[in-house]
């Protein structure tokens, strides 16, 4: 039964044709929060990972994700829905596993956003003290921004795309200016030293698993291009182009900028520099100092402001992504139908309000406990998100193989069998490394790491239980007799 017949008198459709390749690309790039990824997290793989070889990790992960994207994009040409991972897994492995994937996706994006709120609160608190002489707790700024994000998420998606475009360009421009200057002038004491960062021996030095894990974290959100398929202009062209562009841009950007940071310090010295900064609690200096040396003192204050805008852009991007997951789950009957309601702008406003409440529930306990929002909320959220994302990638790759073996809508071996199968093997290898290095990733004890790992498992199992009860109502899943159910939302296309 369609959503409209179950819930007459309410808008449930997202606004179609509202956003193009560029708009979706900026939604994806803003989720990466490039400035946050470079300034906030790069010092860890430099100091605790493979040192000067860290830039290569971004290219390796980019290649792995590109293999995954082959099947992912092929699937997107036939299935169009805001549920993305949830929808794809449902089509391939059935409603029960699909709902398990949906809850894992909500955990992944929710944990990432909550972590961003923690760092954002700290950054804005510092700016307010410095420039306004106003000293409020970090969580006050985080909660106030939740209200702002709720308003922005309820408006026209085109407005959100334009705002994110502005913020992404602003935060990236300073890093790009620094990197280009370093590249043109020959950089630091050892010059550009290509082999010091990209030779196999450099990549495999130290603990490359740490660097790979952080590189995976930098890719969270690339797949959100498919989330906007219902709102895209010509989705069978727009989503694939935006997805491939995002993979290339993200991996090349992080690799190039991190290479210039390494070159500025020297490939042989950067690990010692990063370790000292981490030990002294001044990790951001690993990047801020080179940028200031290169561009001048004005860059330090500018980067502090842009770091706040970077986090705001990422928070808004994940807010929109989670909204559309909740909208899809409401449309298919897994969650209450009210979540599928849209306003006059075509935005899922009920799902948006629900998402804001969930964000509040994830942030408030850390505020009440008086926990350090960076050491706990940011790092724990990032670790949970990485594990959840890897689970989703693996399930989606398996689903792609199953879907095309069953439907025969596309019979190209590389796109529907070889690439998805290869991505499963590669991603399993990355997951083993992520679990092995999880305490380092979250900067916590082995006991805390185990609890968070079990939390990801419990959310997935809980989703399976919910799917066992509600999954039979999903369209396009596999019935217990193995036959395909009647097509229902999400929309399925039979041709390219």
- The structure tokens 């490939």 sit at 267
Is residue 342 a contact partner of residue 324, using CB atoms and an 8 Å limit?
Answer: no
Which token pair is 305? Answer: 């402001």
Query: Which DSSP letter does residue 40 get?
Result: I
Cα angle vertex 368, ends 365, 372, to 5°?
85
Which token pair is 293? Answer: 């040396």
Nearest in space to 217 (alpha carbons), one of 54, 74, 24, 73: 54
Predicted confidence at residue 163, as pLDDT, reads: 67
Helix axes 285-295, 298-331, angle to 10 degrees: 130
Give residue 255's Cα distance to chain centre.
17
pLDDT (tens, 9 = 90+) of the chain, 496 residues, equals: 334 434 444 544 544 544 445 556 656 666 667 888 888 789 889 998 899 999 999 999 999 999 999 998 898 888 765 556 888 899 999 989 999 999 999 999 899 999 989 988 988 998 999 899 999 999 999 999 999 988 887 765 555 556 666 777 777 888 999 999 999 987 777 788 899 999 999 999 888 888 998 898 888 777 666 666 555 566 667 777 777 888 888 899 999 999 999 999 999 999 999 999 888 877 888 998 999 989 888 888 888 888 888 888 888 888 888 888 888 888 888 888 888 888 776 778 888 899 999 999 999 999 999 998 888 898 899 889 999 999 999 999 999 999 999 999 999 999 999 999 999 999 999 999 889 888 888 888 889 999 999 999 999 999 999 988 875 455 443 333 334 433 343 444 433 3
- The DSSP bridge partners found for residue 492 are 79
In this structure, are strands 491-492 and 79-80 parallel, antiparallel, or unpaired? antiparallel
Predicted confidence at residue 231, as pLDDT, reads: 57
- The structure tokens 């994940």 sit at 318
Predicted confidence at residue 494, as pLDDT, reads: 36
Nearest in space to 112 (alpha carbons), one of 328, 320, 424, 327: 320
Which token pair is 424? Answer: 């499963």
User: Which residues are within 8 A (CB) of 215 and not within 5 positions of it... i.e. 6 or more apart?
Assistant: 45, 57, 58, 60, 61, 254
Rounded to whole angstroms, how far apart are CA atoms 424 and 428?
6
- The structure tokens 């398990």 sit at 100
Cα torsion 438, 443, 447, 450 to 10°: value is -30
Tally of residues, the chain:
496
Predicted confidence at residue 201, as pLDDT, reads: 94
Rounded to whole angstroms, how far apart are CA atoms 105 and 392?
7
Predicted confidence at residue 195, as pLDDT, reads: 93
Phi-psi region of 476 (alpha: psi -120 to 50; beta: other; left: phi over 0): left
DSSP per residue over 97-153, as a string?
A: HHHHHHHHHHHHHHHHHHHHHHHHHHHHHHHHHHHH-----HHHHHHHHHHHHHHHH
Nearest in space to 332 (alpha carbons), one of 108, 89, 157: 89
pTM given for the model: 0.83
Q: What are phi and psi of 110, to 5 degrees?
A: -65, -40
């Amino acid at each position: 039964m369609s959503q409209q017949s179950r819930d007459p008198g309410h808008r449930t459709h997202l606004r179609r044709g509202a956003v193009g390749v560029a708009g979706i690309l900026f939604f994806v790039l803003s989720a990466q929060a490039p400035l946050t990824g470079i300034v906030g997290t790069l010092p860890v793989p430099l100091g605790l990972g493979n040192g000067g070889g860290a830039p290569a990790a971004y290219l390796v992960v980019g290649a792995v994700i590109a293999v995954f994207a082959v099947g992912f994009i092929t699937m997107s040409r036939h299935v169009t829905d805001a549920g993305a991972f949830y929808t794809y897994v449902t089509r391939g492995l059935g409603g029960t596993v699909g709902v398990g994937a949906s809850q894992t996706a909500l955990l992944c994006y929710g944990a990432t956003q909550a972590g961003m709120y923690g760092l954002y609160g700290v950054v804005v608190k510092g700016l307010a003290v410095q420039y306004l002489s106003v000293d409020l707790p970090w969580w006050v700024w985080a909660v106030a921004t939740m209200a702002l994000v709720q308003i922005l998420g309820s408006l026209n998606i085109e407005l959100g795309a334009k705002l994110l475009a502005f913020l992404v360009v602003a935060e990236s421009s300073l890093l790009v200016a620094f990197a280009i200057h370093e590249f043109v002038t020959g950089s630091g004491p050892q010059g550009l030293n290509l082999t010091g960062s990209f030779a196999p021996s450099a990549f495999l030095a130290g603990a490359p698993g740490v660097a790979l894990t952080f590189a995976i974290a930098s890719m969270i959100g690339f797949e959100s291009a498919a989330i906007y398929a219902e709102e895209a202009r010509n989705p069978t062209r727009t989503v694939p182009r935006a997805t491939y562009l995002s993979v290339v841009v993200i991996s090349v950007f992080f690799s190039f900028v991190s290479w210039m940071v390494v070159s500025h310090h020297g490939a042989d010295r950067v690990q010692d520099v990063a370790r000292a900064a981490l030990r002294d609690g001044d990790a951001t200096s690993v990047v801020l100092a080179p940028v200031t040396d290169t561009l001048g003192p004005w860059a330090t204050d500018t980067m502090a402001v842009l770091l706040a805008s970077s986090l705001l852009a990422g928070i808004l991007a994940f807010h929109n992504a989670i909204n559309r997951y909740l909208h899809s789950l409401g449309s298919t009957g897994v969650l209450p139908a009210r979540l599928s309601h849209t306003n006059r702008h075509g935005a899922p406003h009920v799902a948006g309000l629900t998402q804001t409440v969930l964000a509040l529930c994830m942030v408030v306990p850390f505020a009440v406990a008086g926990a350090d929002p960076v050491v706990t909320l940011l790092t724990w959220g990032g670790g949970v998100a990485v594990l959840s994302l890897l689970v989703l990638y693996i399930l989606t790759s398996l689903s792609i193989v199953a879907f095309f073996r069953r439907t025969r809508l596309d019979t190209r071996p590389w796109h529907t069998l070889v690439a998805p199968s290869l991505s499963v093997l590669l991603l399993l290898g990355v997951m083993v490394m992520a679990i092995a290095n999880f305490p380092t990733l979250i900067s916590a004890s082995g006991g805390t790491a185990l609890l968070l790992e079990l939390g990801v498992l419990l959310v997935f199992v809980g989703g399976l239980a919910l799917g066992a009860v509600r999954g039979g109502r999903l369209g396009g899943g596999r019935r217990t007799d193995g036959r395909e159910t009647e097509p229902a939302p999400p929309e399925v296309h039979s041709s390219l």
